Amino acid sequence: MELVTADEMLKEAEERLLLLEQKAAELEESHGPGWIGILLIIANTFMGSAFILLLLQTSL
């Protein structure tokens, strides 16, 4: 099992967020604005998880 630092998780979450924002823009063009909300919820979940882990790591 590989140990992952909070910084690495945050970087990965930011990369996923960028990909989701790109996908949201594509879906908005093809399907309308309703899909953006769903993707933003998913993106915020990734960022929230990374932020919580970063806080936990700094508090230990």
The whole-angstrom separation of Cα 21 and Cα 36 is 8
Element (H, E) at 33: none
Residue type at position 60: L
The whole-angstrom separation of Cα 19 and Cα 13 is 10
Per-residue pLDDT for 60 more than 60?
no
High-pLDDT (> 70) share of the chain, %? 67
- 43, 17 in Cβ contact below 8 A? yes
Tokens of 54: 């970063």
Per-residue pLDDT for 21 more than 70?
yes
